[in-house]
């Protein structure tokens, strides 16, 4: 059986992601996208965090790389070609929510994630932090 090879163009993805969603969600966009990312992580659970870069690549979110890992936090860098990763006004809370929930699932601790934009390097840095005092 042949696998469906159709793909959404970068422009089509941008229309939905950056224009339609922001219009529909309005001022609640960041909060809703964060929780939607957490929900996606529940629907597409990973066995380990090492699978996360592959998921990001398949989802068309860009190239994710673990930059630093300590006992209570991790830093990831998201990069892609400028035509794919249009940092500008784009909200990256969907990806942040996804990372937070995957880490929470694998670590067993309450986890949050924040993103920082670096427009000069065309990358996003995600700071994932879990509370070792808060088991879930």
pLDDT at position 6: 63
Q: Per-10-residue mean pLDDT for the chain, 136 residues long?
A: 59 81 91 97 96 94 95 94 74 96 96 94 95 95
Is 1 inside any structural domain? Answer: no
Residues 6+ positions from 25 with CB-CB distance below 8 Å = 32, 33
pTM of the complete model beyond 0.75: yes
* Count: domains in the chain: 1
pLDDT at position 1: 46
**DSSP letter string, 48-102:** SGGGHHHHHHHHTS-EEEEEEE-SSEEEEEEE--TTT---TT---HHHHHHHHHH
Q: In which domain, by residue range, is 15 found? A: 10-135
Is 97 inside any structural domain? Answer: yes
pLDDT at position 18: 79
Is 15 inside any structural domain? Answer: yes
Tell me, what CATH number does 41's domain have? 3.30.1380.20
Is 35 inside any structural domain? Answer: yes
pLDDT at position 60: 85
Is 4 inside any structural domain? Answer: no
């Amino acid at each position: 059986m042949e696998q469906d090879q159709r793909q959404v163009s970068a422009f089509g993805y941008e229309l939905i992601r950056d224009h339609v969603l922001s219009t529909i969600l309005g001022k609640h966009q960041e909060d809703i996208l964060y929780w939607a990312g957490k929900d996606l992580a529940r629907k597409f659970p990973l066995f380990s965090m090492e699978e996360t870069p592959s998921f990001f690549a398949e989802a068309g979110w860009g190239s994710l790389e673990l930059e630093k890992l300590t006992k209570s936090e991790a830093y990831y860098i998201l990069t892609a070609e400028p035509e794919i990763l249009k940092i500008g006004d784009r909200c990256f809370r969907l990806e942040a929510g996804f990372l937070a929930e995957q880490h929470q699932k694998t670590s067993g601790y309450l986890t949050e994630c924040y993103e920082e934009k670096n427009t000069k390097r065309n990358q996003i840095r995600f700071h994932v932090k879990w509370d070792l005092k808060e088991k879930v």
